[in-house]
């Protein structure tokens, strides 16, 4: 396994191009010159991931008002992301990193443990990227309560 990528604030955001929910496609090229939030979550339609997604969705107008696009990323297949988006009426893109290339590039794929078992998975992480394409803020090991508000506050200061 390759050494885990460690991104820092001020680094240029790694390139990405992924299929997304509701017949969309998201790419860094399409976001050139625009600030955005790229948040990585472990698995669609699980309790923490649902709370986080619904939180971003409820604040979406405020993010858009600040000129930002919000994109959620997991390794779930698009079909599952479509069902997740439909179930909770999530209107922002949920991207499918089916190859794992984006989660690796952003350094959010790693060893986790649950009930004494170790496995590989996504570390809940959020990146705030400025219009210059550089990472303005990174939130590692995100705890869902209060997270969307913290990201929105930072986004409004860009």
Confidence of residue 114 (pLDDT cuts 50, 70, 90): confident
Residue 105 falls within a domain, yes or no? Answer: yes
What are the tokens at 131?
């219009």
Residue 145 falls within a domain, yes or no? Answer: yes
Are 128 and 155 in contact by the 8 Å Cβ rule? The answer is: yes
Q: Which residues are catalytic?
A: 49
Residue 5 falls within a domain, yes or no? Answer: no
User: Is residue 1 pLDDT above 50, yes or no?
Assistant: no
User: Is residue 2 pLDDT above 70, yes or no?
Assistant: no
% of the chain with per-residue pLDDT over 90:
85
CATH code of 22's domain: 3.40.30.10
Mean of the per-residue pLDDT values of the chain: 94
Residue 9 falls within a domain, yes or no? Answer: no
115: Cβ–Cβ under 8 A, 6 or more apart, which residues?
Answer: none
Residue 97 falls within a domain, yes or no? Answer: yes
35: Cβ–Cβ under 8 A, 6 or more apart, which residues?
Answer: 66, 67, 68, 69, 128, 129, 130, 131, 136, 155, 158
Residue 4 falls within a domain, yes or no? Answer: no
Are 134 and 13 in contact by the 8 Å Cβ rule? The answer is: yes
What are the tokens at 51?
């709370």
Residue 148 falls within a domain, yes or no? Answer: yes
Residue 116 falls within a domain, yes or no? Answer: yes
| Alpha-carbon gap, residue 154 to 149, rounded angstroms | 9
Find the domain containing 123 and state its range. 17-155
- How many domains in the chain? 1
pLDDT in tens, 19-53: 999 999 999 999 999 999 999 999 999 988 999 99
Confidence of residue 76 (pLDDT cuts 50, 70, 90): very high
């Amino acid at each position: 396994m390759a050494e885990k990528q460690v991104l820092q604030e001020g680094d240029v955001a790694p390139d990405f191009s992924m299929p997304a929910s509701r017949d969309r496609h998201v790419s860094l090229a399409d976001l050139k010159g625009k600030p955005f939030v790229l948040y990585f979550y472990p698995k669609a339609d699980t309790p923490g991931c649902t709370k986080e997604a619904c939180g971003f969705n409820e604040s979406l107008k405020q993010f858009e008002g600040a000129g930002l696009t919000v994109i959620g990323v997991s390794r779930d297949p698009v079909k599952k992301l479509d069902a997740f988006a439909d179930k909770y009426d999530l209107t922002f893109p949920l991207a499918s990193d089916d190859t794992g290339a984006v989660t690796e590039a952003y350094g959010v794929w790693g060893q986790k443990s649950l009930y004494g078992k170790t496995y590989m998975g996504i570390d809940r992480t959020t990146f705030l990227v400025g219009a210059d394409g550089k990472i303005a803020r990174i939130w590692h090991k995100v705890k869902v309560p209060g997270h969307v508000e913290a990201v929105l506050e930072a986004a409004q200061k860009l």
